[in-house]
C-alpha cells in the first residue's frame, strides 16, 4: 500500500497501535465500560467469588492481553478492544475491593486513584515527551498507555459509585451528570483551542463512571433504583454490541485505507 498524500498526523494514526478517535470509538468505549461493570459484578457478586479473587482472575486476563497487544506489530482491533474490556473488568473489581473490602470509601478511593492517573500521565510525559494516544507506537509508550488506562478505569468505577451512592444522585442522576460532562468536553473540543490530548484523557476518564452507573442501573434491584436485569444477560447483549461496533469501525477503516491506496 502506498499513500501519496496526507498530513503527519494521519501518518501517526496509521503507525499507532490504537484506533482512530472517532464517534464510534467513544460509543464502543462506553459500551465496554458498561460491560466491565456488569461482567465484574457477575463474577464477584452473582458467582460469589468476591472482589479479591475476581480481581486476580481479571488481572491475569488483562496482563496476558497487554502482553499480546505490545508484542503485536500492528493495530489489531479485536485484540485492542479485548484489552480495553479486560482493563475495565479488573478496574471494576479492584475499585470495589479498595472502596468496600478495605473500607477506604468511594471518596477516599477516588482521590487515591485520581492521584495515580495524574502521576502516570506526568511520568509518561516526562519519559516520552507526549501523552497523545496517536504516539502509542512502541513498547514503552504502550506500557504507560495501558497503565494509565488501568488507573482511569478503576477511578471511573469509584467515581460512578460515589455519584450514585455518596453524593445521592442515584443511577439516573449519575448518568445525567457524566453525560453532561462528556457533552461539555465535546463543546470545548469543537469551539476552543484547549489541548486535544487533555480533552481526550478527560473524556476517556469520564466514560468509565458513565459506564459504571449505566451498568449498575441495568442490574441493581428495582428497590435500589435499578432495572434488576440479569448481569449475565446484560453482559452478553453489551458484548454483542461491542463486537458489532468493532467490526463496523474496522470495515470503515479498511475502506478508507483502500481508497487512500488508490490515490
pTM, entire model: 0.86
Tell me how far apart the alpha carbons of residues 52 and 55 are, in angstroms, rounded to a whole number. Answer: 5
Q: Are 19 and 71 in contact (CB under 8 A)?
A: no
User: How far apart are the C-alpha atoms of 156 and 207, rounded to whole Å?
Assistant: 8
- What pLDDT score was predicted for residue 263? 55
pLDDT of residue 176: 94
Check residue 126 and give its pLDDT: 94
Question: Residue 177: which of 152, 156, 147, 153 has the closest Cα?
Answer: 156
Domain spans of the chain? 21-255
| Rounded Cα distance, 198 and 193, in Å | 11
pLDDT digits 0-9 by tens, 206-230: 998 999 899 888 888 887 778 888 8
- Tell the residue number behind the cell numbers 478495605, with chain if given: 102
What pLDDT score does 190 carry? Answer: 94
Q: Which residues contact 162 (CB under 8 A, 6 or more apart)?
A: 106, 107, 110
In the predicted model, residues of the chain with pLDDT beneath 70 are: 1-16, 254-263
Amino acid at each position: 500500500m502506498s499513500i501519496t498524500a496526507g498530513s503527519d498526523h494521519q501518518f501517526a494514526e496509521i503507525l499507532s497501535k490504537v484506533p482512530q478517535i472517532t464517534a464510534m470509538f467513544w460509543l464502543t468505549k462506553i459500551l465496554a465500560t458498561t460491560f466491565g461493570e456488569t461482567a465484574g459484578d457477575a463474577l464477584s457478586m452473582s458467582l460469589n467469588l468476591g472482589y479479591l479473587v475476581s480481581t486476580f482472575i481479571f488481572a491475569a486476563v488483562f496482563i496476558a492481553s497487554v502482553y499480546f497487544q505490545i508484542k503485536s506489530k500492528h493495530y489489531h482491533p479485536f485484540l485492542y478492544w479485548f484489552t480495553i474490556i479486560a482493563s475495565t473488568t479488573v478496574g471494576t473489581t479492584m475499585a470495589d475491593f479498595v472502596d468496600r473490602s478495605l473500607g477506604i470509601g468511594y471518596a477516599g478511593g477516588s482521590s487515591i486513584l485520581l492521584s495515580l492517573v495524574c502521576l502516570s500521565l506526568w511520568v509518561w510525559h516526562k519519559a516520552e515527551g507526549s501523552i497523545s494516544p496517536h504516539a502509542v507506537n512502541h513498547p514503552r509508550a504502550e506500557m504507560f498507555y495501558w497503565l494509565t488506562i488501568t488507573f482511569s478505569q478503576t477511578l471511573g468505577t469509584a467515581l460512578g459509585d460515589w455519584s450514585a451512592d455518596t453524593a445521592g444522585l442515584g443511577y439516573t442522576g449519575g448518568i445525567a451528570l457524566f453525560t453532561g460532562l462528556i457533552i461539555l468536553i465535546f463543546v470545548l473540543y469543537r469551539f476552543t483551542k484547549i489541548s486535544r490530548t487533555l480533552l481526550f484523557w478527560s473524556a476517556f476518564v469520564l466514560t468509565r463512571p458513565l459506564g459504571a452507573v449505566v451498568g449498575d442501573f441495568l442490574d441493581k434491584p428495582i428497590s435500589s433504583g435499578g432495572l434488576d436485569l440479569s448481569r449475565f444477560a446484560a453482559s452478553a447483549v453489551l458484548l454483542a454490541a461491542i463486537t458489532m461496533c468493532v467490526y463496523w469501525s474496522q470495515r470503515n477503516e479498511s475502506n478508507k485505507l483502500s481508497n487512500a491506496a488508490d490515490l
